Amino acid sequence: MVLQRWAAARGWQPPPALEQAARRNARPPAYPRGWPGFLVPPFELLPAPREVDLSHLVAAYDDYDQLNEAHFAGVLPPLRIRINPRLRSLGGRIDPRRRDLELNYFRLEELPATRVEVVFHELIHLWLYTRGLPAGHTAEFRRKMLERGHCSIRYGVPGDPKGPRHAYPGSDRRVVYHCPHCERQYTRRAAYRQPMLCGSCLREGRGHHRIVLVARLEGQDPR
Ligand SMILES: [Zn+2]
Ligand SMILES: [Zn+2]
């Protein structure tokens, strides 16, 4: 099923009416030389999905079909959805010109309930692009996110008590460093791989002071 969807995405040609409408809408600065259109094959062929990817991809194609009908009036072009095992920090990433959506395998495994929201977010980029509109996190993008209860561009779970914040538990993980010299605290998403100096002390001419990891936070709101 997944390979058939990939083949359909590769073989698709945009209907002339769609291209004309997109060209009419496209304006600088988002499209300084007009609407770039969709790339037509041949672009790269992909190796078949891994066995462990298949159920996630089938589910993501279901999401795509349902979202396309429910939120995009069925106008979205066929899409290649795949898993990029190297994607770790993002939930997903889309290349609208190639109609190519990459998903984060680790997030799919850990938080399958958020998959549909990741797909929704990426499809908004595709929907805007398909109509020749600026495809970034614009006001129209945010308005679309609201249709599924997201008060920000992040793909949390609607109704999450943390409200507009990202509901991905990974985003709650923080490490706190402390400079014993100036007492400044630094909060980071991940621990540094090597000893680090206090940037504040360096900038202010107080000398070289190594910052010390003092806390690891999780499951609370450190911001
Ligand atoms: Zn985005
Ligand atoms: Zn310091």
Residue ranges per domain, the chain?
Answer: 2-146, 173-217
Nearest ligand to the C-alpha of residue 122? 1
pLDDT at 112: 87
- 53-76: average pLDDT: 97
Q: CA-based Rg of the chain, rounded to a whole angstrom?
A: 21
Give 155's pLDDT tier (boundaries 50, 70, 90). Answer: low
128 pLDDT exceeds 90? yes
Q: How far is the CA of 202 from the centre of ligand 2 (A)?
A: 7
pLDDT at 208: 95
φ/ψ of residue 141, rounded to 5:
-60, -45
Nearest ligand to the C-alpha of residue 182? 2
Nearest ligand to the C-alpha of residue 117? 1
Closest alpha carbon to 171 in 91, 84, 83: 91
Nearest ligand to the C-alpha of residue 136? 1
Q: How far is the CA of 196 from the centre of ligand 2 (A)?
A: 11
What is the value of pTM for the model shown?
Answer: 0.72
170 pLDDT exceeds 50? no
Q: How far is the CA of 219 from the centre of ligand 2 (A)?
A: 28
193 pLDDT exceeds 50? yes
Q: What whole-number distance in Å separates Cα of residue 130 and Cα of residue 179?
A: 50
Instruction: Write down the residue that tokens 């920000």 correspond to.
Output: 152
2 pLDDT exceeds 90? yes
Nearest ligand to the C-alpha of residue 123? 1
Q: How far is the CA of 201 from the centre of ligand 1 (A)?
A: 36
Q: How far is the CA of 179 from the centre of ligand 2 (A)?
A: 5
CATH class of 2-146: alpha beta
Give 122's pLDDT tier (boundaries 50, 70, 90). Answer: very high
Give 169's pLDDT tier (boundaries 50, 70, 90). Answer: very low
pLDDT at 48: 93
Nearest ligand to the C-alpha of residue 119? 1
Q: What whole-number distance in Å separates Cα of residue 94 and Cα of residue 80?
A: 10
